[in-house]
């Protein structure tokens, strides 16, 4: 007789548990419907930020500024353009400032001289 009561309790729990879960789900649905569509929680994530390592740069205008005082502006612009395309940066000013763009400073010719003006 005690075994029969134990089985009855297990069956009752097995039947009541799904009803409890459905009741909780229905209550949450009613709560969200009462809040309204303008106040409903919406998952939002911002757009990914552009990588600081490869920002978009206008190599033409950056190299024009870099080579403005060069004695050989065409050669300077060509070398600067290839370095800018590879590094995606050009140091500010007309000379120096290589610490602002380490990649630009690291490119060398076959002879070991700096390629980028």
pLDDT recorded at residue 85: 93
Give the pLDDT confidence score for residue 62 in this predicted structure. 94
Q: What angle, rounded to 10 degrees, do the helices at 59-66 and 73-87 form?
A: 130
pLDDT at 56: 80
In DSSP notation, 34-92 reads: HH-TTTS-----PPPPPPTTS----HHHHHHHHTTT-SSHHHHHHHHHHHHHHHS---S
User: Distance from CA of residue 67 to its chain's centroid?
Assistant: 33
pLDDT tens, 11-70? 665 665 565 556 665 656 555 555 555 555 556 556 555 555 556 889 999 999 999 999
What is the pLDDT, as a whole number, of residue 13?
Answer: 57
Predicted pLDDT at 75:
95
Domain ranges of the chain: 1-35, 59-106
Give long-range contacts, CB 8 A cutoff, 24+ apart: 61-66: 62/90, 63/90, 65/90, 65/94, 66/90, 66/91, 66/93, 66/94, 66/117
> Between 116 and 16, whose confidence is greater?
116
Residue 57 confidence (pLDDT): 87
Terminal CA-to-CA distance of the chain, rounded, Å? 97
The per-residue pLDDT for 70 is 94
On whether the CB atoms of residues 98 and 105 are closer than 8 A, the answer is yes
Instruction: Report pLDDT for 86.
Output: 92
pLDDT (tens digit, 9 = 90+) per residue, 70-113? 999 999 999 999 999 999 999 999 999 999 999 988 999 999 99
């Amino acid at each position: 007789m005690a075994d029969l009561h134990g089985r009855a309790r297990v069956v009752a729990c097995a039947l009541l548990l799904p009803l409890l879960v459905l009741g909780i789900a229905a209550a949450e649905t009613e709560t969200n419907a009462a809040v309204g569509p303008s106040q409903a929680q919406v998952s939002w994530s911002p757009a990914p930020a552009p990588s600081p390592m490869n920002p978009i740069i206008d190599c033409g205008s950056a190299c024009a500024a870099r080579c403005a005082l060069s004695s050989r502006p065409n050669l300077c612009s060509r070398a600067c353009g290839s370095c800018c395309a590879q590094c995606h940066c050009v140091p500010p000013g007309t000379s120096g400032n290589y610490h602002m763009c380490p990649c630009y400073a690291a490119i060398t010719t076959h002879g070991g001289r700096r390629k980028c003006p």
